[in-house]
Amino acid sequence: MTDTTPVRLRLSGIAKAYGGTLAVRDVSLAVRRGEILALCGENGAGKSTLAKILAGEIALDSGTIALDGQPVRLLDPASAHRLGIAVIYQELNYVPTLTVAENVLLGRLPGWGPVVNWGAVRRQARTILAPLAPDLDPIVPIASLPVAERQVVEIARALSLDARVIVMDEPTAALSQREAGRLFALVRRLAATGVAIVYISHRLDEVFALADRIAVLRDGALVGDRAVGDTTRAEVVRAMVGRGVNELYPRRESTPGDPWLEIRGLCRGTKLKDIAFSVRTGEIVGVFGLLGSGSDILVKALFGALRADRGEVVVGGRSLGLPTPNRARRAGIALVPGERKEEGLVLGMTVRENLSLSTMPAISRRGIIRRRAERLRAETTVRELQIRTRGIETPVGRLSGGNQQKVVLGRWLQARPKVFVLEEPTRGIDVGAKVEVYRLIENLAEGGAAIVLVSSELPEILSMSDRILTLSDGRLTGEFHRGAVSQEEVLDSAIGRSAP
Amino acid sequence: MPSADPPRSPIAGAAAGDTGIAPAAPPAAGVGDRTPRLSLGRFWDAGIGLLVVYAAIVVVFSRLSEFFFTKNNFLNIGVGVSILGIVAATQTMVIIARGFDLSVGSTVALAGVVTAEILNAGGSGVVAVACAVGVGAAVGLINGLLITVVRVNPLITTLATLSIVRGIAYVWTDALTRVFPGPDLRQLGIGRAFWDIPIPVLIMLAVFVIVWLTLQYTTFGRSLYAVGGNPRATLLAGIDVGRVQLTAYLLSGLSAGFAGAVLAAQLSAGSPQAATGLELNVVAAVVLGGASLAGGRGRVWGTLVGALIMETLRNGLVLTDVSSFYQMIAWGVVLLLAVVIDQLRRGDAS
Q: What is the DSSP string of A183-250?
A: HHHHHHHHHHTT-EEEEE-S-HHHHHHH-SEEEEEETTEEEEEEEGGG--HHHHHHHHHSS--S-SS-
Tell me if B298 sits within 8 A of B6, measured CB to CB: yes
Query: Residue range B6-22: average pLDDT?
Result: 34
Q: B30 to chain A: nearest residue by CA? A: A393
A42-51, A451-460, B34-43, B237-246: range with highest mean pLDDT:
B237-246
Give the number of other Cβ atoms within 10 Å of residue B231's Cβ. 20
Residues near B182 by beta carbon (within 8 Å), at least 6 away in sequence: B119, B125
Supply the pLDDT for residue A454. Answer: 93
Q: Residues of B with CB below 8 A from A347's CB?
A: 229-230
Tell me if A296 sits within 8 A of A289, measured CB to CB: no
Tell me if B23 sits within 8 A of B210, measured CB to CB: no
Q: Give the helix ranges, DSSP H, for chain B.
A: 11-18, 40-45, 48-64, 71-96, 104-120, 125-148, 154-173, 186-190, 199-217, 219-229, 231-236, 241-267, 278-288, 300-319, 324-349
User: DSSP secondary structure string, B259-306?
Assistant: HHHHHHHHHTEE-TTTTTTHHHHHHHHHHHTT--TTSS---HHHHHHH
- Is B236 an interface residue toward A (CB < 8 Å)? yes
**Residue A345 and residue B219: Cβ atoms within 8 Å?**
no
Mapping DSSP to helix (H, G, I), strand (E, B) and coil, where does residue A368 land? strand
What is the rounded distance in angstroms from the CA atom of residue B12 to the CA atom of residue B300? Answer: 8
**Residue A329 and residue B226: Cβ atoms within 8 Å?**
no
Q: Residues of B with CB below 8 A from A365's CB?
A: none
Supply the pLDDT for residue A245. Answer: 45
Minimal CA separation from B233 to chain A, in Å: 4
Q: Residues of A with CB below 8 A from B297's CB?
A: 348
What is the rounded distance in angstroms from the CA atom of residue A100 to the CA atom of residue A137? Answer: 8
Query: Residue range B230-239: average pLDDT?
Result: 92
- Burial per residue of A485-496, b for 16 or more beta-carbon CB atoms within 10 angstroms, e otherwise: beeeebbebbbe
Q: A299 to chain B: nearest residue by CA? A: B236
Which has the closest alpha carbon to B188: B204, B171, B200, B172? B200
Band the pLDDT of B259: cuts 50, 70, 90: very high
Give the number of other Cβ atoms within 10 Å of residue A70's Cβ. 8
Q: Residues of A with CB below 8 A from B42's CB?
A: none
Lowest-confidence pick of A230-239, A359-368, B227-236: A230-239
Tell me if A34 sits within 8 A of A1, measured CB to CB: yes
Minimal CA separation from B211 to chain A, in Å: 13
- Is A337 an interface residue toward B (CB < 8 Å)? yes
What is the rounded distance in angstroms from the CA atom of residue A473 to the CA atom of residue A479? Answer: 15
Mapping DSSP to helix (H, G, I), strand (E, B) and coil, where does residue A454 land? strand
Q: A333 to chain B: nearest residue by CA? A: B238
In Å, what is the CA distance from B81 to each residue of A248, B281, B309, B313, B322? Answer: 64, 11, 9, 11, 19
Backbone angles phi, psi at A229, to 5 degrees: -70, -20
- Is A360 an interface residue toward B (CB < 8 Å)? yes
Q: Residues of A with CB below 8 A from B296's CB?
A: 346, 348-349
- Is A350 an interface residue toward B (CB < 8 Å)? yes
The alpha carbon of residue B62 and the mean position of all alpha carbons in its chain are separated, in whole angstroms, by: 26
- Is B217 an interface residue toward A (CB < 8 Å)? yes
Mapping DSSP to helix (H, G, I), strand (E, B) and coil, where does residue A110 land? coil
- Is A404 an interface residue toward B (CB < 8 Å)? no
Query: Residue range A202-220: average pLDDT?
Result: 86
- Mark which residues 297-316 of A lie under 8 Å from B by CB: 303, 305
What is the rounded distance in angstroms from the CA atom of residue B112 to the CA atom of residue B256? Answer: 10
Minimal CA separation from A324 to chain B, in Å: 8
Band the pLDDT of B81: cuts 50, 70, 90: very high
pLDDT at B26 over 50: no
What is the rounded distance in angstroms from the CA atom of residue A396 to the CA atom of residue A401? Answer: 10
- Is B28 an interface residue toward A (CB < 8 Å)? no
Mapping DSSP to helix (H, G, I), strand (E, B) and coil, where does residue A415 land? coil
Q: pLDDT tens digits for A252-264?
A: 667 788 889 999 9
Size of interface A-B (CB pairs under 8 A): 110
Supply the pLDDT for residue B44. Answer: 59
Lowest-confidence pick of A4-8, A366-370, B220-224: A4-8
Q: pLDDT tens digits for A396-426?
A: 988 888 889 999 999 998 888 899 999 999 8
Higher-pLDDT residue of B270, B38 = B270
Helix (H) or strand (E) holding A16: strand A7-18
pLDDT at A230 over 80: yes
Backbone angles phi, psi at B298, to 5 degrees: 155, 155
pLDDT at A36 over 90: yes
Cβ-nearest to A358 among B32, B33, B237: B237
**Residue B4 and residue A350: Cβ atoms within 8 Å?**
yes
Q: pLDDT tens digits for A276-314?
A: 999 999 999 999 987 778 888 999 999 999 888 999 999
**Residue A394 and residue B33: Cβ atoms within 8 Å?**
yes
Q: A361 to chain B: nearest residue by CA? A: B219
Tell me if B289 sits within 8 A of B302, measured CB to CB: yes
- Is A372 an interface residue toward B (CB < 8 Å)? no
Query: Residue range A258-277: average pLDDT?
Result: 90
- Is B212 an interface residue toward A (CB < 8 Å)? no
Q: pLDDT tens digits for A155-193?
A: 788 777 778 899 988 887 667 777 788 888 888 888 888
In Å, what is the CA distance from A434 to each residue of A202, A233, A245, A340? Answer: 10, 15, 11, 14
**Which amino acid does the sequence have at A32?**
R
**Residue A364 and residue B225: Cβ atoms within 8 Å?**
no
- Is B33 an interface residue toward A (CB < 8 Å)? yes
**Residue A344 and residue B29: Cβ atoms within 8 Å?**
no
**Residue A391 and residue B218: Cβ atoms within 8 Å?**
no
Q: Residues of A with CB below 8 A from B223's CB?
A: 360
Q: Residues of B with CB below 8 A from A397's CB?
A: 1
Supply the pLDDT for residue A289. Answer: 84
Higher-pLDDT residue of A490, B128 = B128
Band the pLDDT of B31: cuts 50, 70, 90: very low
pLDDT at B37 over 50: no
Q: Is the dihedral of CA B171, B175, B180, B186 positive or negative?
A: positive
**Residue A326 and residue B226: Cβ atoms within 8 Å?**
no
Give which of B3, B218, B236 to mutate to test A binding, by max A Cβ within 10 Å.
Answer: B236
Domains of chain A, earliest start first: 7-248 (3.40.50.300), 282-306+326-495 (3.40.50.300)
Higher-pLDDT residue of B335, A496 = B335
The alpha carbon of residue A197 and the mean position of all alpha carbons in its chain are separated, in whole angstroms, by: 21
Q: Residues of A with CB below 8 A from B27's CB?
A: 371
Band the pLDDT of A90: cuts 50, 70, 90: low
Cβ-nearest to A346 among B220, B230, B238: B230
- Is B226 an interface residue toward A (CB < 8 Å)? yes
Q: Residues of B with CB below 8 A from A356's CB?
A: 222
pLDDT at B138 over 80: yes
- Is B239 an interface residue toward A (CB < 8 Å)? yes
Reported for A403-406, long-range contacts at CB under 8 A and 24+ positions apart, including other chains, are A403/A433, A404/A340, A404/A341, A404/A344, A404/A345, A405/A336, A405/A340, A405/A344, A405/A429, A405/A433, A405/A437, A406/A433, A406/A436, A406/A437, A406/A440
Residues near B101 by beta carbon (within 8 Å), at least 6 away in sequence: B91, B94, B140, B143, B154, B158, B249, B252, B253, B279
**Which amino acid does the sequence have at A147?**
V
Give which of A315, A357, A371 to mutate to test B binding, by max B Cβ within 10 Å.
Answer: A357
Residues near A406 by beta carbon (within 8 Å), at least 6 away in sequence: A385, A386, A387, A433, A436, A437, A440
pLDDT at A487 over 60: yes
What is the layout of strands, in order, in the sheet containing A21-32?
A: A21-32, A7-18, A62-67, A70-72
In Å, what is the CA distance from A349 to each residue of A393, A490, B7? Answer: 9, 40, 14
